[in-house]
Structures are given as structure tokens and as C-alpha cells.
Amino acid sequence: MASELETAGASSPEWPTKQVYALAVVCLVIGLAVGYLFRGSRSPAPASTNPPQGAATAGMTAPAGTGQAGGQPVTLEQMKQMADKSVEPVLAKLKDDPKNADLLIQVGNIYLATHQFKEAADYFGKSLELKPKNVTVRTQMASCLYYSGDVDGALQQLGQALEDDPHDANSLFNLGMIRWEGKKDSKGALAAWAQLLKTNPQLEPAKKAQVQRLMADVRGQTSAN
């Protein structure tokens, strides 16, 4: 969800298991954006609008995916303390260069990696004030807002991202996920994913098939209700 401490835009090539379909931070196209689905070793638990409890962080001490350090569970407060310590050198640079969007994104990525979603959204938002057309970062910010419980805010940011790039696969996928998980809007979710497949014919067959299976799952749940 490449290192989490790098600026948004890095990716890693594998998708984890079906359980992470519920995540709001996703990435479908290698090289376009970061997302939990390209970072199976750091994926949080399947999401509600509550922040996931205990994934590891890049560059931190807890083992990836376990949420534990020294055999003890790592709490969100401990993760925040680790994040606050890790951002200190970047914040020091920002004092000398406060309008450096890349540094702001680095801070956002550190907080994202430690599941401090509100803080991550704040720094992504500051970077967007400087570079408002960065669709990758806006999609990251939307995901953080979703995990912070701000479903409407997340949808608003994704709407803006798609105004800037109507074909962006990550924004379309996340739009579908948040409509489905956050609004229980299966029709809207299916429409977003159908648009994703229509406008992104370059998707690898395996990834296209996964989106299609997800759509089939949603249709099945809808018909069963």
C-alpha cells in the first residue's frame, strides 16, 4: 500500500488474495500509482470505514503483516509514535522548503504506512494544493479519507481525480469499492468497474479477470438480497 516511504507513484507487482477486495487503496496498473493490492505483505485487514488494526510499516521494526514487535501486538498509538519519529527528518527539510510537494508526499506516505490515515490525508492534501493535478496522490488521499471514516470526502476526491483523468484505473477501482463498501451502492460500483474495463484495455488479463470476478461477486450478493 517499492517502499512505503517513497513518494506516491511507486508500485509492486503482485496482488494478494480475494480478502483484500474490500480495501479502498488499490492499484491496477503497474507504474501508475501505489496501493495496498500491489503490496501484499503490508495489506491491512479487509476494510470497513474504521482504520485497520495493525499492519507493519516500511522502515519500522514490526514484522510485515503481523502487527507485532517482540511478540507483543503493535497498537495504533505505538505506530503513530514510530511515524512521528520517522517524519522528523522530512519535516526538518520542509521547514527550509515548505512548498516542496514531494516532501509533503513523503510525510503522507509515512503516515499511510503506519495507518495514521488522518495525518496522511492532511499531508497529501497539502501537496495537492501545490500540484492539484496529481491524480495518484489524490487517489491516495481519497483512500485515507475513507479509512478515516469520511466516505463522502473520499468520493469527492475521487470525483476530482476522474475529472483530471477520466481513465485512471486506480480512481475507478476505488470509486467502485467505496460506493460498494461505503454506500452499499452496488449499481454505482458496477458502473465504475465497467468503465474501468472499458477505458483500460491494456490491463493484464489476470487483473482484468479479478475485476470481473469481483463484479460477479457483487452481482451475486445483490441478487441474493
Q: What is the pLDDT of residue 149?
A: 94
Which residues of the chain register pLDDT less than 70? 1-71
Rounded to the nearest 5 degrees, what angle is found at the Cα of 171, between the Cα atoms of 32 and 42? Answer: 65
Q: What is the pLDDT of residue 170?
A: 92
Backbone angles phi, psi at 223, to 5 degrees: -70, -25
Q: How far apart are CA 114 and CA 17, in angstroms?
A: 21
Q: What is the pLDDT of residue 207?
A: 86
CB 58 within 8 A of CB 65: no
Amino acid at 197: L
Q: What is the pLDDT of residue 51?
A: 35
- Helices (DSSP H) in the chain: which residue ranges? 76-96, 101-113, 117-130, 135-147, 151-164, 169-183, 186-199, 205-224
Pairing of strands 72-73, 68-69: antiparallel
Q: What is the pLDDT of residue 143?
A: 95
Q: What is the pLDDT of residue 77?
A: 87
Q: What is the pLDDT of residue 144?
A: 96
DSSP SS3 for 68: strand
Backbone angles phi, psi at 131, to 5 degrees: -135, 75
Q: What is the pLDDT of residue 224?
A: 79
pTM over 0.85? The answer is no
What is 18-224's CATH number?
1.25.40.10
User: Computed from CA positions of residues 30, 34, 148, 44, in that sequence, does the dihedral angle turn out positive or negative?
Assistant: positive
Q: What is the pLDDT of residue 66?
A: 36
